[in-house]
Chains A and B, each alone.
Chain A
């Protein structure tokens, strides 16, 4: 039943993680359990809620729907890599706090990574489309309005 382990190198937030795991492990579990990066959360493990969203080669991806071995050789970015340094928050992190875009904070890493990826790819995304994109992830606390406000403010600040 249990399969053998394979060695794997994951490149996360510009650091190399040499790990060994079963090929069936999801990327989310590898990030959390093997790399110790528990900021990536699991809300459904079915690809619906988006709490586990990370950036792979700059694009938002559900890390629960991908095997870790599939991410070999890719540049992965997680919430832990968002802030530029220990003293400075990323503009999205600042904006989420300023606009009260988080309450319990469980879905927050997924929304931050989704927004970071989208604004990187589409810095001028329109309001309707932004709302549509942010509807990819679920939040049960905020009612979304403050998340949309936070992301829009970062987009508007360019």
Chain B
């Protein structure tokens, strides 16, 4: 069962239009909330006039910051530092606004159209100030003798690089429905996703109510990508208002709100130096980077910069390393994580450095990569850095072997000759590579409760969550594999905080690793328990009782065999276990991307002729779903490399507020991706050997495309910034032809 591309359990309701996304849920008497947002990036609130809105028919309430002045700021879920604490966001603006889109008031009405009408009648007078950028914290990390290495280096190279501001943009916008259930007295949160247990506890804490009186009810979730499901200001207001009004309150944001108010990500500038030897060995890296956090520090705290710093050396040895990260506050939308957070940026930077090292030494970049890759003999490899509260110890991997597999797949020698011939014939084509290490399976724990029902079907309750990735199918496969049963007879329950007391949720490619491993421990315990029950029943020695092909019985006595259904019927409630998987280290999948592009130098359009992703996931539970993760991840990575970017004008006004401005790849821009999934290096850290598959498709897109494009335009080192939009590329091409023309003229 493990390793089979079985169809997903999730599909049927979604295909029939029977999904239960938060907007689809309603209760009698549901009120609709519309958020009044700041249209100024930086300013002081002079007055909020709600009188006209409040008097409109159908308007139930209008709330401003003064109504929620007692609510605490939204706290960090991960990686908080004292320096960041003053910069947390209030649920509604308290006297000042710091970004366009910041919630300043909410209107709650009987109908969503009415709420929107009334929100337009709330007049907010703001004294406008110039946008500002200030540094609020530095993060430094270091190992090895950096200065000594630079002093002794054959070459020193330095680069300045920038990664644009983009984000996940799930197709379903954010939303929450808070329902004070009169029958149970419990506040139900429909639409809580990603970290349902955290959300229910955090909301209970902020509203100062007993956590047992708040329950998260996860329904279908229209894409996560890191951004959805974090605790946002609007969520807290919805819950607070529902209690205050004692009625269900529903908030579904529109796309403009999503683009200006949900977490942004990336947006880093890097200044990086490397000490390089003549043979291509990089003996030290000295890195400094600036992250534009936006207006507030949200739930992720310093997650992104800490991952950037810790993962930048990637799959390379790098004997000495220093990183100084600057977290800067600005008047843009606050930032958090987005698929491959910190690594998309770091891999772009590290692989730009590899290309530069190749140029300075006159070596091929393939040779430079080979020279620096961590050898298999060095595994497990302690990076001497930490992130997300864990030491970075690369648990297993044969990086050179996977690199060779990628190069063999693309037949690099022939491909390079072919591309050179095409360039000689006047085409602008190029090949780019990017190698990377990912991280996955963040602990510290996950629980499951596994119960065999009397009909033999199995229920697995987990504290993990679904963001649409297919976790029900993966968990069911893991369960069915161990119990020798049909995976379709496994029901996976997730995101229901009243069904299991704790849970970590779905982020950091952790669900298959953590909840999957807990499931395996759970099914092992079920088998053990079933054997004990049968041993007691037939009065046999436990050692003589075996679990085989879904049946339990005394070895060599076919008559004694019982199915799980028979055991469960004979001993109701006995076949139920709780299991916990604990892990203090992450597990590290790794891979490489290869891109072949053709550039139209007249328009700056980049056509991706070929895109290859090689990825070692330790062990593939469902290869079809892993391919799906890689394909979708690559589309997002390609979007970030070529198209997607949030721009602001000099007064901090967002210029990207719709899908007409935020250009996500469509079927026309997204190439078919060739995928090489390998299972060379099962993780030693969990009973399944799995590593997470969610982020490798995204990780190296910027790196590979940058290298491919600059080879195509014949300008090594020219690409220093993502995304490589047609206009930026046109600029580079124009500059270069100008230089060429001047050279010819002189």
Q: Are A and B bound to each other?
A: yes
List residues of A whose CB falls within 8 A of some B CB. Answer: 1-2, 22, 24-25, 32, 37-46, 48-49, 51, 78-80, 82-83, 89, 93, 96-98, 100, 102-109, 112, 131-132, 134-148
Nearest B residue to A25 by beta-carbon distance?
A: B113
Stretch at the interface among B9-17, B489-497, B521-529: B9-17
**14 intermolecular pairs with C-beta atoms under 8 Å apart:** A38-B17, A41-B171, A45-B254, A48-B658, A83-B16, A89-B16, A100-B624, A104-B467, A104-B469, A106-B172, A132-B667, A135-B668, A141-B632, A144-B631
Closest Cβ of chain A to B193, distance in Å, is 10
In contact, B673 and A143 (Cβ under 8 angstroms)? yes
In contact, B223 and A106 (Cβ under 8 angstroms)? yes
In contact, A39 and B670 (Cβ under 8 angstroms)? no
In contact, B170 and A140 (Cβ under 8 angstroms)? yes
Of the candidates A78, A83, A132, A138, the one whose C-beta lies within 8 Å of that of B664 is: A138
Given A2-B58, A48-B660, A51-B171, A135:B667 Cβ within 8 A? yes
Q: CA of A49 to CA of B170 in the docked complex: distance in angstroms?
A: 11
Contacts of B669 in A (CB 8 A): 135
Q: List 16 extra interface pairs beyond A97-B12, A103-B469, CB under 8 A.
A: A45-B255, A49-B255, A79-B17, A89-B15, A102-B15, A103-B632, A104-B222, A105-B14, A105-B19, A106-B220, A132-B668, A138-B664, A141-B632, A142-B631, A143-B673, A145-B672
1/0 per residue, CB under 8 A from A, across B15-37: the answer is: 11111010110000000000000
Cβ of B722 under 8 Å from chain A: no
In contact, A145 and B670 (Cβ under 8 angstroms)? yes
Contacts of B660 in A (CB 8 A): 46, 48
List residues of B whose CB falls within 8 A of some A CB. Answer: 7-8, 10-12, 14-19, 21, 23-24, 56-58, 113-114, 117, 168-173, 220-225, 254-255, 467-470, 624-625, 627-628, 631-636, 658-660, 664-670, 672-673, 697
In contact, B673 and A139 (Cβ under 8 angstroms)? no
Given A103-B468, A140-B632, A46:B11 Cβ within 8 A? no
In contact, A1 and B56 (Cβ under 8 angstroms)? yes
Q: CA of A49 to CA of B258 in the docked complex: distance in angstroms?
A: 14
Nearest B residue to A148 by beta-carbon distance?
A: B667
Q: CA of A49 to CA of B223 in the docked complex: distance in angstroms?
A: 14
Q: Is the interface of B mostly helix, strand, loop or mixed?
A: loop
Q: Is the interface of A mostly helix, strand, loop or mixed?
A: loop
Q: CA of A42 to CA of B631 in the docked complex: distance in angstroms?
A: 24
Q: CA of A83 to CA of B222 in the docked complex: distance in angstroms?
A: 22
Give the A-B pair count, Cβ closer than 8 A. 177
Q: CA of A145 to CA of B658 in the docked complex: distance in angstroms?
A: 25
In contact, B17 and A49 (Cβ under 8 angstroms)? no
Q: CA of A65 to CA of B220 in the docked complex: distance in angstroms?
A: 25
Nearest A residue to B636 by beta-carbon distance?
A: A140
Q: CA of A154 to CA of B28 in the docked complex: distance in angstroms?
A: 41
Closest Cβ of chain A to B50, distance in Å, is 16
Closest Cβ of chain B to A23, distance in Å, is 11
Contacts of A38 in B (CB 8 A): 17, 19, 21, 23-24
Contacts of B170 in A (CB 8 A): 104, 106, 140
Contacts of A89 in B (CB 8 A): 12, 15-16
Nearest B residue to A139 by beta-carbon distance?
A: B171
Task: Output the residue of B12, B631, B667, B669 with the most chain A CB within 10 A.
Answer: B667
Contacts of A80 in B (CB 8 A): 16-17
Nearest 9 interchain pairs by C-beta: A39-B17, A104-B468, A105-B14, A106-B222, A143-B631, A79-B17, A143-B635, A48-B659, A135-B668
Closest Cβ of chain B to A91, distance in Å, is 11
In contact, B659 and A42 (Cβ under 8 angstroms)? no
Contacts of B23 in A (CB 8 A): 32, 38, 41-42
Nearest B residue to A113 by beta-carbon distance?
A: B17
Of the candidates B168, B624, B670, the one whose C-beta lies within 8 Å of that of A144 is: B670
Contacts of B631 in A (CB 8 A): 142-146
In contact, A131 and B172 (Cβ under 8 angstroms)? no
Q: CA of A140 to CA of B411 in the docked complex: distance in angstroms?
A: 31
Task: Output the residue of B168, B220, B222, B631 with the most chain A CB within 10 A.
Answer: B222
In contact, A100 and B8 (Cβ under 8 angstroms)? yes
Given A79-B16, A83-B16, A143-B635, A43:B172 Cβ within 8 A? yes
Q: CA of A138 to CA of B667 in the docked complex: distance in angstroms?
A: 8
Contacts of A1 in B (CB 8 A): 56, 117
